[in-house]
Amino acid sequence: MEMNDGDNEEFGFSRNYFLAKELRGSGKRSHSKLSDIDVVDEPELIAAASKIEPKHEKEVKELMNSYKSSYTEWAFELRCGLGLLMYGFGSKKALLEDFASTSLTEYSVVVVNGYLPGINIKQVVAALAELLWDQLKSKRKNPGSSSKVQQPFSSRSMDDLLAFLDEDRTNECYVCVVIHNIDGPGLRDSETQQVLARVASCSHIRMVASIDHVNAPLLWDKKMVHTQFNWCWHHVPTFAPYKSLTSNAQSVFKVLAEYQLSHSNEEGMPVDNLYASCRERFLVSSQLTLNSHLTEFKDHELVKTKRNSDGQDCLHIPLTNEALEKLIAELSQ
């Protein structure tokens, strides 16, 4: 049987493949093991990474400054009742906070860090209601004293809170909620997104949010996008780095969270106690390592520092016990 050129080419490829396999099998095997690799420990890696000089700083700064010319347009869109949704590569946290601090001074502003787990959406809505009530009191000579208003917002139902935020009033009082990562782990479940959509549609609320996941729009249906959130989309790539906690830092944070839960009557956990606990668990080898983790926590706004009655520096996580329990459960997985 004669073979054509195509068959010869295919036969040659197959023969070469098996020859290569045969030669590879007959070669000497390496005696190297994974355990022989000199792995750098996490604190050393973090310290080395922090010394890497960021590239294109000038261009990134110019890009960020270029967005300032859009602040007036964004503020106008908010006044028209639109929601602002920022998307694009890079963290938009600094951009949104600069916009809020310079162009939203006429509003009371609530910032929600959606990238943190364990967010209590009911507390967020109650905080919005309290700010709105403070504005109404300051603008009215006689704000009234209905029993419904006297009832603490934290103890009212979600429907009551939303009704209060959407009540038809002649006063032009607005509260702006800025949400970093509305698609973040603390907010991306369907029920929370439904609540946020209802909040955004309230007459006294204005919303500014950012997304980072490519599939974030799948969180919403047509009604939520066009009627409730009423998004005005803005492409604002910043190329700014995202800050994330390392696994070791998460373990240190868990120690602090567990202490706070079991000592809820105290002002916080003394730094010396945290260092001792973490050293016992081999989470840190020096005070310097712990300090690097604490700096991370403060950058993420996860921890507050204050002095107790004994003059000790204490660390406190600004979350409720319920949110802490949920957070510890997620860190334990």
Distance between CA atoms of residues 297 and 250, nearest Å:
10
Helix, strand, or coil (residue 179) = strand
Residue 288 one-letter amino acid? L
pLDDT of residue 150: 58
pLDDT of residue 309: 80
Helix, strand, or coil (residue 234) = strand
For residue 158, give the H/E element and its range.
helix 158-165
Q: Which residues does the chain have with pLDDT short of 50?
A: 143-148
CATH (one of 3.40.50.2300, 3.30.1370.60, 1.10.10.10, 3.20.20.70) for 247-331: 1.10.10.10
pLDDT of residue 239: 92
Tokens of 42: 């996490």
Q: Which of 211, 236, 193 is nearest to 98 (CA)?
A: 236
pLDDT of residue 233: 97
Identical topology for domains 58-136+158-235 and 247-331: no
For residue 10, give the H/E element and its range.
helix 5-26
CA 157 to chain centre: 26
Instruction: Sheet containing 313-316: give its strands across.
Output: 269-270, 313-316, 304-307
Domain residue limits, the chain: 58-136+158-235, 247-331
Q: Is the Cβ–Cβ distance between 114 and 187 less than 8 Å?
A: yes
Distance between CA atoms of residues 179 and 4, nearest Å:
67
Exposed, middle or buried by CB within 10 Å (0-12, 13-18, 19+), for 107?
buried
pLDDT of residue 166: 94
Distances (CA, A) of 113 to 35, 64, 116, 301: 40, 21, 6, 9
3-state helix, strand, coil in the chain (%, to 5): 50, 10, 35
- Count the Cβ atoms, other than its own, within 10 Å of residue 236: 22
Distance between CA atoms of residues 228 and 24, nearest Å:
63
pLDDT of residue 145: 44
Tokens of 253: 């944070």
Residue 126 one-letter amino acid? A
* Domain 58-136+158-235 indexed as CATH 3.30.450.20: no
For helices 287-299 and 247-262, what crossing angle results, to 10°? 80
Instruction: Sheet containing 231-235: give its strands across.
Output: 108-113, 175-180, 205-210, 83-87, 231-235
